[in-house]
Structures are given as C-alpha cells and as structure tokens.
Amino acid sequence: MVILLTNGHSLDPIPAGGTVTHNTGHACGTHDSGHAHAHGPGATSYPDFEWDDLYTGDGSDTSDPDPTLLAPADDLPPGRALDLGCGSGGNALALAERGWRVTGVDLAPRAIASTRAGACARGLDGRVELAVADSATWQPEVAYDFAVSSYALPPRGPARTATLAVLATALAPGGTLALGEWDEEACDWAEPGDLVTLAELTEALTGLGLDVVRAERRVVPRIQHPGEDHAVIVIARKPHDTLEASG
C-alpha cells in the first residue's frame, strides 16, 4: 500500500502501484497526526525495517545537500528535477533554492513530511512536489532534466533493477542522472548484495540506454554516522536521440 500525505490531519491509503504527488504549498501550516508505514512491492527488500523511524517528520532533521551529486546540476539551466529516495529533503530543497522545480519521492511518510516542512519553512512550497511511493514502482508523469539518487537504491535484485529503470525512464532526452551508492568492494558493514559495485552500476545504466560520462570510487562522509566511507559515484546522460519503446 502507498500512503499519501494529505492536506488534512490523516494519512489516506491509495491502491498499491498508484502514483501520488501533491504540491507542498497545498499543505503548509498543517500537521499530520499519528504514524503510518508504507508497504509496497519494494518495501519487502527490508521487511522488518521501519523507514519512518529514521525521520522526525517536522523538518528538524533535514539533511545536508550532497555537493558531489548536485554539482552536475550547476552546469544546467534550472528545469525539472527528480530526487528519487529523497529522504528528509536535503538535495530536493537545495535544488529548489537554485530555481529547479523538484519532485521528491520516498517510501517513508515521515521523510516526505520532513521535506514538506522544510520546503514550507523556506518558502519553496511552490517549487516542490512530493510523493510517498516505492521507488521501484513509482511512475513519472513528466520528463526530468536532472535526476538524483543519493544512497537510496534497494538491495541487488528485481527492486534495484526496477528502480534504475525508473530513473532512466524519468529522464528527458539530454537529461542528466547523478547517482551515489555505497561501494560493496570497500565497505565491510553490509550484507552481500545490499550495496553496489562500480562495474555493475555502470553496466546497468549503459544497458538502460544511458551514456556514462563519469564513474568513480571515492571516500565520502557517512550519512547519519560520524566518519567517512567508500562510495561509487556515477554521472550519466540520456542521449538526445533516445526513442522510448512503445507498448
């Protein structure tokens, strides 16, 4: 089930697989009571983990933007941007502040609530649309000039494959994707298959018709923990002559 954060004081379910977005400006000044948990096809990747527990829902936990992943957007005229797996909204809000119209998608209702609160507090509600949805099944309704995925891919398997396909499909011809993930070949804290290798990520994106323009392994700050860790960073573009398959 996908849960929509509504304008009022409740969380209303919609059919799984549906796509739901709302403009944050429609809900500024409201508060969603209670707690909700999203259960969609991709949520089964971690069936015992409650993603809502990572977030406050009030905007006080808004993450810092990732300068490495957002750097490619600095070379582009502001247009439409997608943050798939947006968490508490650091990247989404930073893009909105730079003039982009941003869609943020995350599985956790409280993450979306935090992003919405941050957008309202900064006066960005007219530039940010949000959806509580599974990244593997969410369907874009418009094409995006820039897309970012910041350490948000599901574990190796069908959900990851589907999420990468969503990112590739969402890009407009000529659009740019910035993707960061933890490096399976260097990190020792995850289960096999939870993380990615640079080779498999570049191969997957190339197979989806994208041109990889930069691919590197690097040391980056940890998220929600002190210290540093190893990541893979891939920047890819969708060719202008890409033809979408019909049917």
- Predicted confidence at residue 231, as pLDDT, reads 82
Its pTM stands at: 0.77
Output b/e per residue, 106-125; b: 16+ Cβ within 10 A.
bbbbbbbbbbbbbbbebebb
Residue 242 domain flag: no
Range of the domain at 223: 2-237
- Predicted confidence at residue 93, as pLDDT, reads 96
Residue 213 is encoded by which pair of tokens?
């323009």
Residue 246 domain flag: no
- Please identify every stretch of the chain with a pLDDT value under 70, giving residue numbers as ranges: 1-62, 184-193, 219-229, 242-247
Residue 15 domain flag: yes
Residue 243 domain flag: no
CATH number of the domain bearing residue 114? 3.40.50.150
How far apart are the C-alpha atoms of 229 and 113, rounded to whole Å? 28
- Predicted confidence at residue 156, as pLDDT, reads 84
Domain tally, the chain: 1
- Predicted confidence at residue 58, as pLDDT, reads 56
Q: Which of 7, 35, 33 is nearest to 20 (CA)?
A: 7
